[in-house]
Structure 1
Amino acid sequence: MTAPTPGWLLRPEVGLCPCGCIGKRRKGSYVAKTLTGASGIMRQAIFSEDIAAAKGLLQRLDPRVKLLSMVGLLVVVALVHSLPLLAGAYVATVALAVASGLSLGFFIKRVWLFVPIFTGIVVLPATLSVVTPGDVILPLWHWHGHIHGVTEQGLHGAGIIVARVATSISLVVLLTLTTPWVRLLAALRAFGVPKIFVLIIGMAYRYLFLLLDAVDDMYTARKARTLSGDTGRSGTGAGRRFVAAGAGTLFGKAHQLSEEVHQAMTARGYTGNAQTLSAFRVRAGDVAFVVCVAAFATALLLADAR
């Protein structure tokens, strides 16, 4: 297994002093920052493959069992309207993550850093009395003698939406992190997902990394032919010229690369069906997991119906 890139090699301007006494700190190029972010995506994908190869609870399950269980739980979470029950379902997903060997901090940050936070921002207006009338618990302004602000009913509705999204995203993250990509595609085909859909997803996944490598090679070649690099005030202008000139080149290279990727896959016998080294086999642990998931989903629905 390839060793991870050292942290000191990824930090920009290693030798500069924060106080500026050694020299003037220069602003980094936005092109370099973008490529650094792209390399971060690749490192996360490699890290996810390492997690999927671990010996955790979900990693030992059949991919078809995981896919069916997670889809069923997603449907149940969408039907539940009780905030405490949704909170309990989220705690259950965190427990599954811990049992699967995932870092608790990594899992929580991956879930809450993007979608639920943005969902909370979207549903924030629904907490106001002008959108959701109810008991005002946080007065904000007066209008024609009436108090307006955040209502209890609005907060409850927003909390349900955020909790539902957080739980759903947690289930999806658990599925993708604990299942190798090829086995996940094979599980989709086992449930009758159209071959062209699986083919497009598989091609896009492989092509994404090849495209990132192509962009990185173009930028590295440009820096190798530039004496001054992207420093000084000219860095922004030079970066814009590089992006404008490289867009057309990258488009042509991307088209040619997509043909080569498809030809390479078909030459190796790829027909749209994901092939795995080990055959799928349902064991006693898979059956026990399905029974536990079914019991948990039934309990959620019955408790929500009361």
Structure 2
Amino acid sequence: MRRVFARLFSLCLIVSMLVVSSCAQTPVVLSYSPNFGETQPNQFRSSLRFGFVTFEDQRVAKRLMGDATLIGWGSNTFHTKQNVPDHVTKAFVDTYRYLGLKSIWIKTPPDNFSFSTKTWVASLRTRYPNVDVFVIGKIRNYEFLLRSGGISGAVKGKFSELAATTQARVELYYLDSESGRIIWGNTLHHDTYDRKVSKKAPTDYASMRLDEALHNVILQSVDRVLPKINARSPGSVQVLSGMMADVPKTPEGKVAGSVPSDKGRIEVVSKPSGAKVYLDGIYYGLTPLALDITPGIHLLKVKKEGFETGRDKVGVLAGKVTPWKGVLPPKN
């Protein structure tokens, strides 16, 4: 399904370029902030140090067209003067630091470094002996598409409104610096689609949404890898007590009292019930479950054996109750 979607997305890009003319554009400015969506800082404490090697640019525009500056498509092709691999890698490093995880950016790997050789971990460890976890990544997609009136509008020749699609897709591997073994690895992605976009500054809006998608991918990586690291080295990553959720229940299992003024409550219900609830990578119990948590944006994961895992970014307001209801489809 992902491959089909990627091919359709590429087809949209080609169609958009064919049906409309191209002209010079002001370079797109990429501006990433680690506190997107009111993400709370200093959520973790860890003795481990992450080393992010500058990610490889494996986007279609770079691989097939040799153009590393291309960042968007539509009535024109949109370019940026910024280095995309540097921008994406720095976003990871800045966000991990913002969350309280010690991280460095390995801008210049050793001379004999290669993503495809078996000796590269030893080479990195020799140069960076204080790094505990090396992170390598390949940027599979980091682009936006601006089109007028959608595909149907292009066919009819009507371009009365703009639609914006963004895709952030990064293949990641976290490796133990001592053994060189993979702690965790996968491809993470997040896509956005806005049917109507203001024509006043569409590229500014699209680039903002693109970096929001990147932010979501980064938070997904934290959600996925920290439990794996703690399973290998218990206690190596700690959630600060102020960020932990409280379970406001009486011994009878009923939700207890009103929501504290300095916290917000999220009530998680799943179908089927009895699914494991993880908030910001921490396990709290089984659905149905209520949690009192620091206000802000939190990553919710609802997991049950034999069913697809539910994942969501949930905004929690102080003194308010935020309900979350999800249906977990059976795995094929």
Q: What TM-score does the superposition give when structure 2 sets the normalisation length? A: 0.23
Give the structure, 1 or 2, with the largest relative contact order (CA under 8 Å, sep 6 or more).
1
> Could you say which structure has the higher strand fraction?
2
The structure where helix makes up a greater share of residues is 1
Query: Bigger radius of gyration, 1 or 2?
Result: 1
- What TM-score comes out, normalization by structure 1 length? 0.24
